[in-house]
Structure 1
Amino acid sequence: MYKKRGLLIVLSGPSGVGKGTVRKELFSQPNTNYEYSVSMTTRSPREGEVDGVDYFFKSREEFEALIEQDKLLEYAEYVGNYYGTPLDYVESTLEAGRDVFLEIEVIGAAQVRKLVPEGLFIFLAPPSLTALEKRLIGRGTETSEVIQSRVNKAREELEMMNLYDYVVENDEVQNACDRINAIVTAEHCRRERVEKRYIQML
């Protein structure tokens, strides 16, 4: 019997582009039925962040043990901290036929693309580099040196846009959410994703 597998949705883009803000808005909407895969990180929690909700906060030693055990779908070291995605949760949720939503860094997305090429890869882009810099300064959580390193990194990351299926500009958060939902709906109707069901029916 045909069993529909869930869709792995990867939202990525430069640091400071608003990935977390867009993801939170998507998941606050009543009609959203994606499963959010909480990432792991070794960075300290920001104010208001909750362990197991925003991230799984781990020590460097704990994180490196998981790397050794091949328990991460992807991971990257970014501005001195590790970020990664727990593998077991993602695989079991997809097998159960539910869509998994990942919000990850660009380096991590490139790793996932190699392991799960059938995933849906969406690049969240800033309206401009100036807008990105203003957003980072507005956070008030990083020094000017860290902000500059993130802006420089964002330039490199924008050049990796060719690894993605779709680009969504984050001009307004709600607009970005609407575009992402439209893309996911279209992908579920893609011929390659549905034809097995019809072949079996015939």
Structure 2
Amino acid sequence: MAQLVVLAGPTAVGKGTLLKALLDKHPEIWVSVSATTRPARPGEQDGEDYHFVTHEQFDALVAEDGLLEWAVVHGSNRYGTPRQPVLDALAAGRPAVLEIDLDGVRQVRRTMPEALFVFVAPPSWEELVRRLEGRGTENEAERERRLETARQEMAAAEEFDEVVVNDDLDTALGELEDIVLQAR
């Protein structure tokens, strides 16, 4: 059975960009699609970027133990990892990656301690702020909420098995690629 790789890091650090580049090079890698109660952003597709669900549908997944982990993120919306697809990918021997928040990481560590936990870090706090502001997808209050969460996440980097600094995309991608492919 393959080893699960759990990827986390602060908002705007480039986790999604790294994962997309990794999948472009290695389509055999399976990446979990999270369920969320937040609305889709422009261009996001249900079932590809996230499973966009109502609060009632999310409650049902929690009640049925259908989520490997779940959390309230940025104080407003819930995100979770559907359990069965993860177990199916691992049983099939596919390299499997979860991209989740810090609370989710801690839940997975309790239930699947054999997973490999990877933190994606920015080259500096200033660069993280610049990237978040450059996205232009959040208003000022949301940016502040996300930055407060990012401070907490960065303070927890020592809880992870590996840290990949996303300063140069190609370098960070190479490091992540080595980690995920060795976890087979």
Say yes or no: TM over 0.5: yes
Contact 1:121–1:166 (8 Å) recurs in 2: yes
Deviates more, 1:85-94 or 1:172-181: 172-181
Q: CA RMSD in A?
A: 1.2
The partner residue of 1:171 within 161, 167, 173 is 167
Q: How does 1:12-91 map to 2 (within 5 A)?
A: 12-29=8-25, 31-79=26-74, 80-91=76-87
Contact 2:95–2:181 (8 Å) recurs in 1: no
Q: Number of residue pairs matched?
A: 183
Contact 2:2–2:183 (8 Å) recurs in 1: no
Partner Cα distance (1:119, 1:26) in 2 = 19
3-state SS of paired residue (2:48): coil
The CA deviation at 1:170 is: 0.6
Partner Cα distance (1:55, 1:28) in 2 = 18
The amino acid that maps onto 2:151 is R
Contact 2:70–2:81 (8 Å) recurs in 1: yes
Partner Cα distance (1:101, 1:9) in 2 = 5
The amino acid that maps onto 1:139 is R
Partner Cα distance (1:70, 1:17) in 2 = 30
3-state SS of paired residue (2:97): strand
Partner Cα distance (2:182, 2:87) in 1 = 22
Structure 1: which 5+ runs fail to align? Answer: 189-202
Q: How does 1:1-202 map to 2 (within 5 A)?
A: 5-29=1-25, 31-79=26-74, 80-188=76-184
Q: Percent identity?
A: 44
3-state SS of paired residue (2:44): coil
The CA deviation at 1:184 is: 2.9
Contact 1:25–1:173 (8 Å) recurs in 2: no
Higher relative contact order (CA 8 A, sep 6+): 2
Larger Rg: 1
Structure 2: which 5+ runs fail to align? Answer: none
The amino acid that maps onto 2:100 is I
The CA deviation at 1:32 is: 4.4
